[in-house]
Amino acid sequence: MLRCPHLPPCDGCPRFGLPGIGAEAHERLRALAQRADCRLEPAVTGEPLGYRVRARLAVRGSAREPKIGLFQERSHNVVDIPRCAIHHPLVNQAAVALKAALRETGVAPYHDQRHSGLVRYVQVVVERPSQTLQIVVVCNSESADPVAPLFEALGARLGEQVHSLWFNGNTGKHNTIMGHAWRRLSGPEAIVEVIAGARVHYPPAAFGQANLDLFERAVASIHGFVPESARIVEYHSGVGAIGLGLVTEKRSLDCVEIAPGGLRGLELGRLDLSEQLRDQLRIYAGTSAAHVNLLGDADFVIVDPPRKGLELPLTEALCSLGAGSPRAHSARLAYLSCGLDSFLRDVDALLNSGQWRLSRLEPFAFFPFTEHVETLALLERA
């Protein structure tokens, strides 16, 4: 029987030990499949323990007794989780090393009410091929100078397990985790993962999936939908984790992304392509709404939006796709969702337009033991 040493009071895994996805999410997806006359595929699951290669953890307490973990729901109380069962072991090791470095240097963790102390959060990312750690320490400071001894102690404790160390400055009185001040103290600019045959670069400011093993299976499913020769448009492309592996001599890819970290990762991924393939990848900075014109020449569209779902102008453009381009009449759409409410809203709009039909619906348990579900849908022209 699975056991968690931090449950309770940690409430990060409310379904700990239960398989698959939550009953409510399953029922809502089943109802969509029934309305759309489409089979709901079984939930795709992976290893439930030690899968999380990316974590953002709050740092509170005192220099003598630091706490590194998650906030309890609707509170500023941090639950210390040094032996989290879902974290990759290296994530737990990094948290233990940071605690020791705080004690050793006397650098104080952040205090919410007093807006005092220095260390607010830590972001830890495991680069799977090298089994090394990209570590960002978020500080209540505009400069890394006040926490220089902490970084020295942390680097000394982790040694060769460090991929790179980063300072992030966030002095605001708000709940936003990352600030705008960045400084790389050691190591390469980005971690690199090979996904679907492509080298994908993750700078520390870029979004990345915490469950990369299961995410790769979703990417493989999407790639299986794409014709051998296709012009592909990807909205909310991030660092290109889905699309980069699709670039070939016969396939072109237009990527739309707004976040600076994602755009930088995309550019690094483009530079890793052969010179012959670089011209097959075009990067567009900005919102999806600003680049809906790319739909006109697309054979295949990929959308991977944040939890709020698609921007309304993109939804509207997809609902009227084909009005100005014969090519778009046969386009297909892969929608990878991380927000069930917005996904159901967007898919309802697409189906109600009469332009699309749902041909595949596949849930993924990217975050085992939670109510969260990620959903992959394939839509084809009606």
pLDDT in tens, 262-308: 999 999 999 999 999 999 999 999 999 999 999 998 999 999 999 99
Q: Return the SS3 of 41.
A: coil
Per residue in 52-107, pLDDT (tens digit) is 999 999 999 999 999 999 998 878 899 999 999 999 999 999 999 999 999 999 99
What pLDDT sits at residue 321?
A: 83
pLDDT in tens, 212-221: 999 999 999 9
For the residues of 193-226, what is the DSSP string, one character each? EEETTEEEEE-TTS---S-HHHHHHHHHHHHHHS
Predicted pLDDT of residue 163 = 98
Quick: pLDDT tens for 121-176: 999 999 999 999 999 999 999 999 999 999 999 999 999 999 999 999 999 998 89
Residues of the chain with CATH 2.40.50.1070: 54-189
pLDDT of residue 84: 96
**Mean of pLDDT values over 234-243:** 98
Mean pLDDT of 255-262: 98
% residues pLDDT > 70 (the chain) = 98
In this prediction, residue 75 carries a pLDDT of 82
> Per CATH, which fold does 23-48+211-381 belong to?
Rossmann fold (3.40.50)
Q: What is the average pLDDT value for the chain, to the nearest integer? A: 96
Q: Does domain 54-189 have CATH number 1.10.940.10?
A: no
Q: Is 13 a catalytic residue?
A: no
* Cβ 91 vs Cβ 55: under 8 Å: yes
pLDDT of residue 313: 97
| 306 upstream amide cis, omega within 30 of 0 | no
* Residue 226 in this model has a pLDDT that exceeds 90: yes
Handedness of CA 68, 204, 45, 37 (dihedral sign): positive
Between 36 and 324, the higher pLDDT residue: 36
The values of phi and psi at residue 108, to 5°, are -85, 135
Task: Write out the E strands in 250-347.
Answer: 252-257, 281-285, 300-303, 332-337
pLDDT band at 324 (very low <50, low <70, confident <90, very high): low
pLDDT per position as a tens digit, 103-128: 999 999 999 999 999 999 999 999 99
pLDDT at 325: 55
> Given the structure tokens 């210390």, which residue do they identify?
80
Residue 362 CA to residue 374 CA, distance in Å, equals 9
CB neighbours (10 Å) of residue 222? Answer: 22
27, 94, 175 from 221: Cα distances, Å: 23, 33, 36
224 vs 3, which has greater pLDDT? Answer: 224
pLDDT at 109: 98
DSSP H or E stretch at residue 314? helix 312-319
Q: Is 322 left (phi over 0), alpha (psi -120 to 50) or beta?
A: left
Q: What are phi and psi of 41, to 5 degrees?
A: -70, 155
* CATH 3.40.50.150 location in the chain: 23-48+211-381
Name the band, by pLDDT with cuts 50, 70 and 90, for residue 208. very high
Instruction: Look at residues 324, 377, 323 and name the one whose alpha carbon lies nearest to residue 350.
Output: 377
Single-letter code of the amino acid located at 94: A
Q: Which of 13, 38, 84, 338 is catalytic?
A: 338
